[in-house]
Amino acid sequence: MDKLRMVGGSPLKGEVKIAGAKNAALPILCACLLTDEPIVLRNLPDLQDVRTMLKLLQEIGVEVIFPDQDDRNHVVLNAAVIKSSEATYEMVKTMRASILVLGPLLARMHSAKVSLPGGCAIGARPVDQHIKGLKAMGASIKIKGGYIQAETKPPTERLKGASILTDMITVTGTENLLMAATLASGTTTLENAAREPEVGDLAELLVKMGAKISGIGTDRLVIEGVEKLHGAEHSVIPDRIEAGTFLCAVAAVGGEVLIQDCRPDTLDAVMVKLKEAGLQMEVGSDWIKATMQTRPMAVSFRTSEYPAFPTDMQAQLMAVNAVASGSSTITETIFENRFMHVQELNRLGADIAIEGNTAIAQGVEKLSGATVMATDLRASASLVIAGLAAQGETQVDRIYHLDRGYDRMEQKLTRLGARIERIK
């Protein structure tokens, strides 16, 4: 398993380009199942999770073409022929987002068999809301042998429009139901819908494909089902979490970095907190110039659904708090077990205690390098940030977690002057 080895202490300087958003790319790739015409995507991030999703789609029968072999950010998907409506346990266990084929397959093929995603490191993450919504749209769903077996009754029938209110705000739940509703007969209302920018990006593509959706960006989506969707072209929205991760790296390590090809308008809650921490930011339409010459100030925060502070940025801002002056409280309200980076940060000399779903961090002057272990995607990013801020050498093991959601992060950091290398 690959490791990252770094020596902390060098400020970050230079420019970094942000890739397309993983959490937009994954539902957007599944949207190709809704039509028998080609979907052309640009700004697709070249990540492990994207490669996994492309493999799953190919197993289902989707033709995946990279027009330019060297450009992995530009892909053409053609789901004219669906060979199988099944996402196997083997596929789903490596990536929970595989659940996003359920809605589109059910809408297009009137049947789908998708392995129930197991739990994951950060929480139980059930999919009961996805199932509840599809049942409301007329699907009959059985859970058998660890699989979700869904079909419309009779199989010739389309899904039917329905009024759905999810018990909690769910990002992929909203995306699954949104995609299913585009081909249902009648109108579907999704109340309590997720407002994350990645949901909006998916909706933009669906509209380009001929879907009739109103309320995009709000918590109430109204979808008027159509018979058929056609092909379209789309460029994936920049990844706000990757951009936020680099902002936290500058805040913790110091330096001056121009972050390009990003969407500052999707980062308000993160930028408010980092400004409080003392990060200076100049902002353009698609760039942020971040400068940090002093030790950060501790900032307390709690995670919540968009547009509030994102749970996917909690571990990264905690790494900043670990070396900040003052103490801070960090409350995680979305997942029940998303503090696994705390013990690893404490191995680097941080002083963080957990009380229920709140972590209390006493900032320390300096962290000192050690070997630590990544446990999940954003925890890995947090450990890289802390390692770059620490004195001496840090090694982060199991960085396959990092590779799921970041495209060659160590190369981008090296170009910014960080002393970091990958050990095969």
| Interface residue list for ligand EPZ (CB under 6 A) | 22-23, 26, 97, 123-130, 168, 170-173, 311-312, 334-335, 377-378, 405
CA distance 101 to 31: 8
| Smallest gap from residue 56 Cβ to ligand EPZ (A) | 13
CA distance 169 to 220: 11
Residue 242 or residue 324: which is nearer to ligand EPZ going by CB?
Answer: 242
| Smallest gap from residue 154 Cβ to ligand EPZ (A) | 27
Longest dimension (CA), the chain: 66
Burial of 143 (0-12, 13-18, 19+ CB in 10 A): exposed
CA angle 363, 339, 280 (to 5 degrees): 45
CA distance 180 to 27: 12
| Smallest gap from residue 230 Cβ to ligand EPZ (A) | 26
Residue 52 or residue 129: which is nearer to ligand EPZ going by CB?
Answer: 129
Residue 244 or residue 387: which is nearer to ligand EPZ going by CB?
Answer: 244
Residue 254 or residue 407: which is nearer to ligand EPZ going by CB?
Answer: 407
Peptide bond into 307 cis (omega under 30): yes
Residue 171 or residue 213: which is nearer to ligand EPZ going by CB?
Answer: 171
| Smallest gap from residue 356 Cβ to ligand EPZ (A) | 15
Residues 6+ apart with CB under 8 A from 258: 14, 15, 16, 287, 288, 289
12 φ, ψ to 5°? -90, 135
Residue 292 or residue 317: which is nearer to ligand EPZ going by CB?
Answer: 317
Catalytic residue set: 120
Residue 125 or residue 415: which is nearer to ligand EPZ going by CB?
Answer: 125
| Smallest gap from residue 378 Cβ to ligand EPZ (A) | 5
